[in-house]
């Protein structure tokens, strides 16, 4: 019981703290990766239009280029998620954006369809790794009452990337830059924001929850809490031996094996079906429509220019999608993740169904764009945000990385299928048929959310994940660690067994 109380108490200052500068440093460091992720994943739709006459691309090749990074991101999410649990958050964080940057630069130097395809795979592995790492690290440092806001702010940087892609493309197209040069610049520019945060990510400290729940290191956990609350509290540590800072081997084994068994049983298996399934369904619709938006708009307005279609996409993202992200950020900790997710899926189903089923809407620009914009607002103020936040909150610390990685990987596999199949579906069943499929996908998302997912709002990470190992982690024997911190919460003194 003393061990349990000490393990819980060490997180109390962090859980009850106000947001500090270190919280925002973590958010910005993680968020710049998501800006790059969005830019790199969505700019390819415009690039393939430019490359079609240059590389003589077939429809199949266009689909593959549009989707291959998404397929590669499945592997990236699974590999980095697993590595985070095995090696620790700190040891792998930053490697994923370094890969992403390398892939972006090489993509801009591509000389053929095959070379570009290979380099886009590298981009995708980095993107998948970013999804698996950033949410977990931000959640494990977050305070209780603002965790949704902090993790959501990381993901909302995707909205800036959505706008940056068509904005930069429009500048190049409007300035008359040669197509042979423009596509290279569009791809290579994605490396700049990612490179800017590699150093910052490598400097992030190991999270207190991983320190305690997996490594059994109370002193290290207390020190990480103090680092986060810098400026609002102080920590003094004293130990009676090096063992206070060393992982307890038996605890490491117990944490991993017990938590893994929990992940494949109740209550975690239904949660895994919910987080992975909902993310899959959301990304089928979101990426299917977004990556192929130039093709959708070309079918809607066959006489329109690429510049006009790109500007239309930019307007939709800026007016509808971007505000949706930040409305979600503001309300995640007020109305909850579950409500935002199911109601978002529901409005998506209504908007897509109206486009597909009401005669003439899929051929009439004005009503189509209004309904398309509504769908984008509720995608962002809905499951696109919550499917990112949920997996970082509902799994035990010892397998939080792989739980998040499986969920993100499932989502990116859905994104791959959407981006791969939509160009073919547009040719065979048209815009109406595609939107009818997306409506059905969204209805399934409503049901899966309501049946499988809990509401983590307002709970500590240990309570929302039912992480009994983290709460009852054994403390290293014959050691004493004293931690005092104040940050809108009580001072804490933690002492291990003598």
pLDDT in tens, 360-388: 898 888 999 999 999 999 999 999 999 99
Residue 348 belongs to some domain of the structure: yes
Residue 484 belongs to some domain of the structure: no
Which of 438, 299, 291, 467 lies closest to 378, judged by CA?
Answer: 438
Predicted confidence at residue 251, as pLDDT, reads 52
Q: Which residues span the domain enclosing 304?
A: 2-471
Predicted confidence at residue 163, as pLDDT, reads 83
Predicted confidence at residue 94, as pLDDT, reads 86
Residue 495 belongs to some domain of the structure: no
Predicted confidence at residue 26, as pLDDT, reads 84
If one counts every other C-beta atom within 10 angstroms of the C-beta of residue 196, the result is 16
Q: Is the peptide bond prior to 267 cis by the omega test (within 30 degrees of 0)? A: yes
Predicted confidence at residue 275, as pLDDT, reads 97
Residue 225 belongs to some domain of the structure: yes
> Can you read off the two tokens belonging to residue 22?
């270190």
Residue 481 belongs to some domain of the structure: no
CB 498 within 8 A of CB 480: yes
pLDDT digit string, tens, across residues 231-274 = 443 343 333 333 344 444 455 555 556 656 777 888 899 999 99
Predicted confidence at residue 254, as pLDDT, reads 56
HEC profile of 250-284? HHHHHHHHHHHHHHCCCCHHHHHHHHHHHHHHHHH
Predicted confidence at residue 257, as pLDDT, reads 60
User: What CATH number does residue 140 fall under?
Assistant: 1.20.1250.20
Predicted confidence at residue 483, as pLDDT, reads 36
Predicted confidence at residue 206, as pLDDT, reads 87
- Which residues touch 266 (CB under 8 Å, ≥6 apart)? none
Predicted confidence at residue 327, as pLDDT, reads 96
Residue 486 belongs to some domain of the structure: no
Number of domains in the chain: 1
Which of 402, 471, 469, 457 lies closest to 151, judged by CA?
Answer: 457
pLDDT digit string, tens, across residues 437-475 = 999 999 999 999 999 999 999 998 888 888 766 555 544
What is the Cα 364 distance to its own chain's centre?
34
Residue 364 belongs to some domain of the structure: yes
- Which residues touch 393 (CB under 8 Å, ≥6 apart)? 139, 147, 151, 337, 456, 461, 464, 465
pLDDT digit string, tens, across residues 75-106 = 999 999 999 998 999 888 888 989 999 999 99
Phi, psi of 338 (to 5 degrees): -65, -45
Q: What is the largest CA-CA distance in the chain?
A: 79
Phi, psi of 233 (to 5 degrees): -165, 175
- Which residues of the chain register pLDDT less than 70? 1-9, 230-260, 468-498
Looking at the chain, the whole-number percentage of residues with pLDDT higher than 70 is 86
Per-residue burial over 104-138, b = 16 or more CB atoms within 10 Å of its CB, e = otherwise = bbbbbebeebeebbbbbbbbbbbbbbbbbbbbbbb
Residue 493 belongs to some domain of the structure: no
Which of 101, 117, 15 lies closest to 65, judged by CA?
Answer: 117
């Amino acid at each position: 019981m003393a061990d349990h109380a000490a393990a819980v108490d060490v997180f109390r200052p962090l859980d009850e703290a106000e947001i500090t500068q270190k919280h925002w440093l973590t958010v910005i460091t993680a968020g710049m990766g998501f800006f790059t992720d969005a830019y790199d994943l969505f700019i390819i739709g415009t690039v393939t239009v430019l490359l079609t006459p240059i590389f003589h691309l077939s429809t199949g090749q266009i689909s593959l280029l549009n989707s291959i990074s998404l397929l590669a991101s499945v592997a990236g999410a699974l590999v980095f998620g697993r590595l985070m649990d095995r090696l620790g958050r700190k040891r792998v964080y930053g490697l994923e954006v370094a890969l992403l940057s390398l892939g972006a630069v090489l993509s801009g130097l591509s000389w053929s369809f095959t070379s570009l395809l290979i380099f886009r795979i590298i981009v995708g592995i980095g993107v998948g790794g970013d999804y698996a790492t950033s949410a977990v690290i931000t959640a494990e440092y977050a305070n209780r009452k603002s965790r949704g806001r902090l993790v959501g702010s990381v993901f909302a940087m995707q909205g800036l990337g959505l706008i940056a892609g068509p904005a930069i493309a429009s500048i190049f197209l409007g300035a008359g830059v040669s197509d042979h040069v423009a596509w290279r610049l569009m791809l290579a520019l994605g490396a700049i924001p990612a490179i800017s945060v590699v150093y910052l990510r490598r400097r992030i400290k190991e999270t207190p929850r991983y320190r305690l729940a997996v490594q059994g290191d109370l002193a290290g956990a207390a020190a990480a809490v103090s680092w986060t609350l810098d400026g609002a509290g102080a920590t003094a540590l004293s130990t009676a031996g090096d063992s206070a800072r060393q992982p307890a081997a038996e605890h490491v084994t117990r944490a991993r094996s017990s938590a893994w068994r929990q992940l494949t049983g109740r209550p975690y298996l239904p949660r895994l079906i919910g987080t992975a399934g909902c993310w899959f369904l959301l990304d089928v619709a979101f990426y299917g429509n977004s990556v192929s938006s130039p093709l959708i708009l070309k079918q809607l307005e066959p006489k329109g220019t690429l510049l006009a279609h790109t500007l239309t996409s930019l307007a939709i993202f800026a007016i509808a999608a971007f505000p949706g992200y930040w409305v979600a950020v503001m309300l995640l900790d007020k109305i909850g993740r579950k409500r935002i997710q199911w109601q978002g899926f529901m409005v998506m189903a209504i908007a897509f169904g109206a486009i597909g089923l009401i005669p003439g809407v899929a051929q009439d620009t004005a009503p189509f764009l209004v309904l398309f914009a509504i769908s984008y607002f509720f995608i962002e103020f809905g499951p696109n945000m919550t499917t990112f936040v949920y997996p970082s909150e509902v799994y035990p610390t010892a397998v939080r990385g792989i739980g998040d990685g499986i969920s993100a990987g499932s989502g990116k596999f859905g994104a791959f299928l959407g981006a791969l199949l939509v160009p073919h579906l547009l040719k065979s069943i048209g815009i109406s048929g595609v939107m009818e499929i997306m409506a059905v996908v969204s209805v399934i998302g409503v049901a899966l959310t309501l049946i499988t997912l809990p509401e983590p709002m307002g709970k500590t990470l240990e309570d929302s994940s039912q992480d009994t190992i983290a709460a009852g982690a054994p403390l290293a024997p014959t050691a004493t660690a004293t931690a005092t911190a104040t940050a809108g919460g009580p001072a804490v003194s933690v002492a291990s067994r003598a």
